Structure 1
Amino acid sequence: MDTGDLRSRVQDHIRRLDLIPAGGEVTVLVSGGADSTCAWHVLRELGYLVSALHVNHGLRGDEADQDARFCSELMQAEIVDGRGGTTEEKLREIRYGFATDRLRATAHTASDQVETILYRLVTSGRPTGIKPRREDGVVRPLLPVWRDETETYCRVHGLEYRTDSTNRDTTRGLIRERILPLLREIHPAADDNLLRALELRPTLQPGLAELISSPVGSKRVDLGGGIQVVREYDRAWLERGPVALEGAVRWGQWTIESKLAGLKVRGWRPGDRLAGRRKKIQDVFVDAKIPRSEREAWPLVVRGREVIAVPGIIEADGVHAVRIADDSTGGGDYPNAIVGRADMRGAPDAIPEEEGRRRTHGFPGESEPKAKRNAD
């Protein structure tokens, strides 16, 4: 087995969906099984700062205590008491109730995804699956990996793992041990085809239904494929997920470049503020006379949760943005398009209105807007 290929798939999945910051901290919820042991090891190998947490539900007596000792000794896992649940739903609620102040990861695999799709298809008629990121922020970095691959990975790297003797007694165990083998007899690619059902499912209608039925206010629904639908009171729009700013990124009419590490490009979100300042991005748009209809599609350059640049309006050292005008934008419609420069070392400096007009959108008669490249 090429374990490097497995790690590459996990890393690509993490980067594509922005699950874990590069080199960031993550706590893996471990059971001691092959999946979570593999997740703990893979994330360490990929350079993340990994810790482990094991929840002992105390349901299997001495076997549960042995699992806890195993996790503590192999992964230096923090052991917490999770007694009190009797149903799968309640036990899951207890597990996810710990370490909510940290970024947590579970070791759900493609095999778990197939079992979940099949279960939900039978019980609800909808082929929905496991989300790469839960609403509470828990991430699933191993979704591109199959269960037999995690077991092989552990063997290749000499990692021992535990086997839960009660797994076969659950509904998931019934699907795994009896139903899926029968489906594979019908077609050997049954697992892959079930995953395809998830990829092809209609996502827009359920997403819109969730928006419509939710209380008035802000709401964000993941439609899959890096697209989210956002509602802010009586307005709604589609938003692309964050894109790593590695070299040049094309965002609508904008081309944004930077050699700085750790930057991303994303759309505006309600509540966004300039890094190190109290001013909201919404107010920046108002000051620059950007029409409301264009604000949702306007790119922001961010580092973590901080907005460091608003192309064409607030500049940052090391970030260069150019907007290509077309007939729909009118080129020089926004006379206050540059209102300052956001230096990561301090507050923005004011730029005169006329100079801002010349730098970004040009005076009347100039057909192509020009973005200033910082010369600092």
Structure 2
Amino acid sequence: MGRSGGAAHGPWHSGAERPLSLAPRGHAERLPVRASRERAGASPLREGRHAALGLLPQRPFLSHTVGVKPRDFRKAVEADIREHELIAPGAAVTCLVSGGADSTCLWHTLRELAYEVSALHVNHGLRGRESDEDAEFCRDVLGAEVVDGRSGSTEDELREIRYSFATDRLRATGHTASDQVETVLYRIVASGAPGKIDWRRSDGVVRPLLSRWRDDTEAYCLAEGLDFRRDSSNPATKRGLIRDEILPLLRRLHPAAEGNLLRLADRKTAPPELVALLDSIDGSARLDIGGGRQIVREYDRAWLERSPVALDGEVRWGPWRITAEEKGLKVRGWRPGDHLAERRKKIQDVFVDAKVPRSEREAWPLVVRGDEVVAVPGIVEAKGVEAVREPD
């Protein structure tokens, strides 16, 4: 849920211990979301409710991000939202909040950007009273629904439980670039491939803070006077091990370690079928890559061509408009070994005789019946086939 593991005040306590009543799984307690312009530091959100709870924030030391400007931060987040089409302007969105700096920053930022924001907190109950205090903080300070998610034990199970709630709404999490680096590093170690966190999950959950660093979210909370929770169990998790022990060592090796790991997340990984096709230079092969396109390799040469198209009505192929009276014909690109129907002459020789440049041959359309070439538009005609080339 994008929980921050950085510096913050520890678990907060009210003046008197209050048991937290949690709703059954699938149900929730809800507080109305406060108006988007109700600012912490000069509003009931801080002066009223926080004073009543006896909440005393501590100011963490933040090295290079103390000077973060909240307005610029929000502007950058909004630009990412627009670029990746995450949330429609003014739309409703439910923030999955832990109470940490990342999700608190997300909740506040989206409110300030005039989205219709609600919040949801899943209490896994793994840390006893501290978990209940996290839930109480999210409910009372962020106006979150609180739901019980105590059935899981592993990190993967707990994550799936969190994502099983509120599936009828657009949901957002506070994952940051810091989470991205940790994910890349873990997946390199676990699988040998730099997997990444996407801006949008397959189930529609969005991550608007994915280009912001964790230090930025903490600095934002500091600048806006927002309190947040710190998870004491973070160091015991896989992410905690990477964050607290491995990354500091990598920074000692090179100061740009995190930025370089982040760049790995943006590299496109070629499908194994494509790698296999391009690795060999023996014979010929082709691979359908979707979108009506195929990659063709002939020995040490490779090119992109359109997949065969049924000649049913008019077919547009580059500058050519092709029609045919006969049924069952197709239009496709030239393939090595093609020859004219009922003749021995190869299409390669047809191109040579017609002085078609080698660079144009792969894109030249052929009208075929099965594996036999019926017509070569502009060069070899066939009864009932009409091909017209439009001016370039």
TM-score range, shorter chain: 0.5 to 0.7
Partner of 1:193: 260
Aligned-partner Cα distance in 2 for 1:67–1:167 = 14
Residue 151, structure 1, aligned to residue 151, structure 2: no
Match of 2:127 among 60, 78, 83: 60
Partner of 1:142: 209
Aligned-partner Cα distance in 2 for 1:83–1:147 = 27
Deviation at residue 58 of structure 1 after TM alignment: 1.0
Aligned-partner Cα distance in 2 for 1:167–1:147 = 14
Deviation at residue 48 of structure 1 after TM alignment: 1.1
Aligned-partner Cα distance in 1 for 2:249–2:218 = 23
Give the number of the structure with larger relative contact order, counting CA–CA contacts within 8 Å between residues 6 or more apart: 2
Deviation at residue 172 of structure 1 after TM alignment: 0.6
SS at match of 2:266: helix
Deviation sequence 1:213-235 (CA, Å, 0-9, x none): xxxxxxxxxxxxxxxx9858xx5
Aligned-partner Cα distance in 1 for 2:188–2:137 = 36
Deviation sequence 1:278-337 (CA, Å, 0-9, x none): xxxxxxxxxxx785x78xxxxxxxxxxxxxxxxxxxxxxxxxxxxxxxxx3569x9xxxx
Deviation at residue 208 of structure 1 after TM alignment: 6.8
Partner of 1:72: 139
Match of 1:133 among 197, 200, 204: 200
Evaluate the alpha carbon distance shift between residue 160 and residue 144 of structure 1 in structure 2; reply closer, same or farther with a 3 A threshold: same
Residue identity (%): 58
Match of 2:269 among 203, 206, 217: 203
Q: Which amino acid aligns with 1:43?
A: L
Q: How does 1:1-376 map to 2 (within 5 A)?
A: 1-200=68-267, 202-205=268-271, 231=290, 291=315, 328-329=318-319
Deviation at residue 141 of structure 1 after TM alignment: 0.6
- Contact 2:69–2:223, Cα closer than 8 Å, also in 1: no
Deviation at residue 5 of structure 1 after TM alignment: 2.0
Evaluate the alpha carbon distance shift between residue 174 and residue 101 of structure 1 in structure 2; reply closer, same or farther with a 3 A threshold: same
Aligned-partner Cα distance in 1 for 2:125–2:110 = 28
- Contact 2:319–2:391, Cα closer than 8 Å, also in 1: no
Evaluate the alpha carbon distance shift between residue 290 and residue 166 of structure 1 in structure 2; reply closer, same or farther with a 3 A threshold: farther
Q: Which amino acid aligns with 2:95?
A: V
Aligned-partner Cα distance in 2 for 1:125–1:42 = 36
Aligned-partner Cα distance in 2 for 1:28–1:208 = 39
Aligned-partner Cα distance in 2 for 1:82–1:180 = 31
TM-score by length of 1: 0.57
Q: Which amino acid aligns with 1:62?
A: R
Aligned-partner Cα distance in 2 for 1:290–1:141 = 45
Deviation at residue 207 of structure 1 after TM alignment: 9.2
Unaligned runs of 5+ in 1: 210-228, 238-288, 295-327, 334-363, 369-376
Aligned-partner Cα distance in 2 for 1:177–1:4 = 30
Deviation at residue 204 of structure 1 after TM alignment: 3.4
Partner of 1:268: none
Q: Which runs of 4+ in 1 moved over 6 A?
A: none
Aligned-partner Cα distance in 1 for 2:163–2:156 = 11
SS at match of 1:52: strand
Aligned-partner Cα distance in 1 for 2:96–2:217 = 16
Q: Which amino acid aligns with 2:270?
A: L
Evaluate the alpha carbon distance shift between residue 178 and residue 77 of structure 1 in structure 2; reply closer, same or farther with a 3 A threshold: same
- Contact 2:97–2:120, Cα closer than 8 Å, also in 1: yes
TM-score by length of 2: 0.55
Aligned-partner Cα distance in 1 for 2:218–2:314 = 54
Deviation at residue 73 of structure 1 after TM alignment: 1.1
Deviation at residue 46 of structure 1 after TM alignment: 1.3
Aligned-partner Cα distance in 2 for 1:19–1:208 = 30
Evaluate the alpha carbon distance shift between residue 208 and residue 100 of structure 1 in structure 2; reply closer, same or farther with a 3 A threshold: farther
Q: Which amino acid aligns with 1:15?
A: R
Q: Which amino acid aligns with 1:131?
A: D
Q: Which amino acid aligns with 2:216?
A: E
